């Protein structure tokens, strides 16, 4: 928090120190000693040097300059001081002031308070009384009231300000003789009880103790705020004075990021992130109402150091909606977006501050657009042509008016680039990050399009710019730096029914490739869920949406983005062109609610691997995956499918380092099932684990015929298993 603009300054003259004879005393007297009186008088502890005055002049906020040792001044400094007097400033100087200047008032002699002799000839209490008396004399020479003062000369105050908030430091300086140095009566080494009143020349709506984390009593009338303070011994208080009571903090997570925000943008609010045992994990200060950092693994709650209010940290899956069109950029549209359960939406232009303000009002964030759209599969944007067709200068021009906004989640930068363009894309990404003032960028990568009915394997390789999808994703992770999410879209229901089975197997391969790269390179994994259709007669029903979403979670997805929210491409979108909900809106809304039933527990674990239960050998060969646990250990290794069952099992380990494990079992037998399926499977474990189904709370398995096998029958496409005892 910055210092207040000073009203009183102390001039320390280099010329006087060198030429007036004080230098041989090592500056232990004069200006340095005088600083003690400035502190006791509760004046601004602001020192001006003659070099500063000559170079920059006198700050316009200064009303009076104290000149304790200015027997010699440079000509230029003297000229600036005369000009200061001419505009109404006061010079309060010692009697030894250089004769070329005339003081408006004379400082009292303080040499008898600070004897030059190293042998103290006065008791500590006598020196203390004399210093306070001299400080009162200095303060009386000012012809204006101070912003902060007290009714007790042993309570010292200092103020820092930002916006409408002041932090007042009030220190008890009442001291007496203690048991250690006290017998010699030279040093006052024992803090004594004290009480008084701190006064600020401002109105206030609230005052908070930043040490006790609680509101404190105060009164505010006639432009003056009075705060009673009391002390048991030598102590201090840090008080936050605000124009109004502080609103509660908003705490949220998004992928691997922790966000703390407040509507009180004009106040710097301190807070701490605590672990479950109360240990401080990280502290922060809200500036301009927003704070963002990597999500600490042990984060449990956020405590407001002003109000003392505690806010739980609930890591959860981030839910986005792709395609927030201009038709819904209004309060009704934003409220509807909030009601579906979204955390963010893409499609808002970075210059649309009115909509961004609405997003912030409703606790939403935006993946903003407004940059040139580079699509690696376009006819006019073939692979390898980005540097020629979209140089860095094009993005610089597009971002000329960019201003960061607290509602911005990311800046959308291109779609499905080819590996042939990664080097140029990396340069563009670095420049955009620089121009966007820290707002992260986000790019969606190609899926493994090889089995798409209209794209053969050779065409897919041409688009990817490489023969291997694994090489494509890994090259992106290694080349383009600065993006937080690894984002992939795959729309499985875009294939005709006769080829859809193979297409879904290719989807599993895509998801596993992305999951392993995200894990190895430290990305948050972000996947798309197809909510619209290329076929007008195909409806994205709740079972189909579940099928996609819960398999995405089995691969460790931390962000799910539903597309399209408003009409953009294809048909049967979540909203109509005028922004009215369709059947997809209510299906997605229900699915998001189901995910929320266990996503806090889910997000406290990180993905380590995946296996495929009930798949045939040809299917496993096509996926390139395994039915076995490889490269990691888990107590949930023995998942068995009932007759005809088929499951994708994602394995997870606790983020807090406790070693506890989880498994997400997703039923994938029938991608075109129009009804909610009943999934039957067995799970081998020493004790029955807690099962968190998407449809309700915890479920318990029934003992099977084999030892340590628990049988489950749950109408759910996604079940999260936790080791016993994990909350």
- pLDDT at site 67: 93
- CATH number, domain 250-312, options 2.60.40, 1.10.150, 2.30.29, 2.30.30: 2.60.40
Whole-prediction pTM? 0.75
Low-confidence ranges of the chain (pLDDT < 70): 22-30, 114-121, 449-456, 673-678, 685-688, 693-700, 714-716, 724-727
Q: Which residues neighbour 703 within 8 Å (Cβ) at sequence distance 6 or greater? A: 688, 709, 710, 711
Token pair of 589, please? 């809304």
Residue 634 to residue 613: CA distance in whole angstroms: 15
pLDDT for 454:
47
pLDDT at residue 686, as a whole number: 67
Annotate 533-588 with DSSP letters as a single string.
BSSTT----HHHHHHHHHHHHHTT-SEEEEE-SSSSSSB--SB-TTS-B-HHHHHH
Residue 115, C-beta contacts closer than 8 angstroms, at least 6 positions apart? 121, 122
Q: How far apart are the C-alpha atoms of 714 and 529, rounded to whole Å? A: 23
Q: How far is CA 307 from CA 115, 267, 278, 562, 680, in A?
A: 47, 13, 17, 38, 50
User: What pLDDT sits at residue 321?
Assistant: 96
Q: What is the CATH architecture assignment of 318-596?
A: Alpha-Beta Barrel (3.20)
Helix (H) or strand (E) holding 261: strand 257-261
Q: What is the pLDDT of residue 181?
A: 83
- Beta bridge partners, 639, equal 683
Contacts of 175 (CB under 8 A, 6+ apart): 128, 188, 189, 190, 191, 192, 234
Give the SS3 label for residue 265: coil
Q: Which CATH number fits domain 1-145: 3.90.226, 1.10.3210, 3.40.50, 1.10.3470?
A: 3.40.50
Q: What are the boundaries of each domain within the chain? A: 1-145, 250-312, 318-596, 607-722
Q: Are 360 and 385 in contact (CB under 8 A)?
A: no
Model pLDDT, residue 727: 40
- CB of 608 closer than 8 Å to CB of 652: yes
The CA–CA distances, whole Å, from 422 to 53, 147, 410, 474 equal 54, 58, 20, 11
């Amino acid at each position: 928090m910055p210092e207040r603009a000073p009203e009183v300054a102390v001039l320390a003259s280099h010329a006087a120190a060198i030429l007036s004879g004080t230098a041989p005393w090592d500056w232990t007297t004069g200006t340095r000693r005088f600083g003690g009186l400035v502190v006791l008088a509760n004046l601004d502890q602001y020192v001006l040097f003659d070099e500063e005055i000559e170079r920059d002049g006198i700050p316009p906020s200064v009303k009076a300059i104290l000149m304790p040792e200015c027997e010699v001044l440079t000509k230029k400094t003297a000229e600036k001081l005369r000009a200061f007097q001419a505009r109404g400033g006061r010079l309060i100087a010692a009697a030894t002031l250089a004769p070329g200047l005339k003081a408006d008032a004379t400082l009292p002699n303080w040499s008898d308070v600070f004897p030059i002799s190293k042998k103290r000839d006065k008791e500590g209490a006598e020196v203390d009384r004399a210093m306070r008396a001299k400080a009162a004399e200095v303060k009386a020479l000012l012809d204006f009231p101070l912003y902060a003062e007290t009714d007790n000369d042993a309570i010292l105050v200092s103020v820092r300000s930002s916006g409408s908030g002041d932090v007042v430091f009030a220190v008890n300086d009442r001291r007496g003789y203690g048991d250690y140095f006290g017998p010699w009566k030279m040093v006052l080494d024992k803090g004594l009880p004290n009480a008084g009143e701190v006064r600020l020349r401002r109105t206030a709506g609230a005052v908070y103790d930043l040490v006790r984390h609680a509101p404190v009593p105060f009164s505010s009338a006639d432009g003056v705020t009075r705060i009673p303070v009391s002390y048991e011994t030598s102590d201090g208080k840090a008080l936050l004075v605000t124009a109004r009571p502080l609103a509660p903090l908003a705490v949220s997570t998004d992928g691997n990021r922790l966000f703390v925000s407040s509507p009180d943008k004009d106040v710097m609010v301190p807070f701490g992130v605590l672990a479950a045992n109360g240990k401080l994990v990280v502290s922060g200060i809200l500036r301009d109402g927003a704070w963002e950092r990597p999500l600490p693994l042990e984060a449990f709650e956020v405590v407001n150091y002003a109000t003392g209010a505690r806010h739980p940290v609930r890591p959860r899956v981030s839910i986005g909606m792709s395609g927030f069109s201009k038709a819904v950029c209004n309060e009704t549209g934003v409220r509807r977006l909030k009601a579906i359960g979204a955390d963010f939406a893409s499609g808002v232009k970075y210059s649309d501050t009115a909509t961004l303000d609405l997003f912030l009002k409703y606790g939403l964030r935006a993946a903003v657009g407004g940059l040139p759209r580079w699509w690696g599969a376009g006819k006019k944007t073939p692979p390898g042509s980005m540097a020629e067709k979209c140089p860095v200068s094009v993005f610089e021009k597009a971002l000329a008016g960019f201003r960061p906004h607290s509602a911005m989640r990311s800046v959308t930068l291109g779609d499905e680039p080819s590996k042939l363009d990664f080097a140029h894309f990396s340069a563009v990404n670095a420049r955009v990050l620089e121009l966007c003032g820290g707002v992260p960028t986000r790019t969606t990568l190609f899926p493994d399009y090889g089995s798409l009915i209209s794209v053969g394997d050779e065409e897919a390789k041409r688009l990817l710019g490489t023969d291997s999808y694994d090489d494509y994703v890994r090259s992106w992770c290694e080349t383009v730096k600065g993006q937080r999410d690894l984002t992939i879209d795959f729309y499985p229901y875009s294939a005709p029914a006769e080829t859809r089975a193979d297409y879904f197997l290719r989807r599993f391969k895509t998801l596993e490739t992305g999951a392993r790269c995200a894990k190895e390179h430290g990305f948050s994994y972000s996947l798309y869920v197809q909510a619209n259709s290329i076929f007008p007669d195909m409806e994205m029903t709740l079972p189909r949406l579940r099928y996609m979403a819960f398999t995405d979670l089995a691969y460790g997805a931390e962000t799910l983005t539903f597309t399209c929210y408003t009409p953009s491409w294809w048909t049967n979108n979540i909203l109509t062109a005028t922004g009215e909900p369709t059947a997809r809106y209510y299906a997605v809304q229900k699915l998001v609610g189901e995910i929320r039933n266990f996503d806090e527990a889910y997000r406290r674990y990180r993905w380590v691997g995946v296996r495929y239960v009930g798949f045939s050998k040809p299917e496993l060969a096509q996926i390139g995956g395994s039915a076995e646990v490889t490269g990691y250990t888990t107590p949930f290794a023995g998942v068995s499918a009932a007759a005809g069952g088929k499951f994708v099992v994602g394995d997870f380990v606790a983020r807090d380092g406790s070693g506890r494990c989880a498994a997400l079992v997703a039923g994938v037998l029938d991608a075109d099932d129009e009804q909610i399926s009943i999934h039957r499977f067995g799970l081998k474990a020493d004790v029955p684990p807690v099962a968190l189904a998407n449809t309700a709370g915890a479920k318990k398995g029934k003992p099977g015929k084999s030892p340590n096998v628990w049988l489950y029958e749950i109408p759910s496409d996604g079940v999260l298993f936790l080791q016993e005892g994990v909350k």
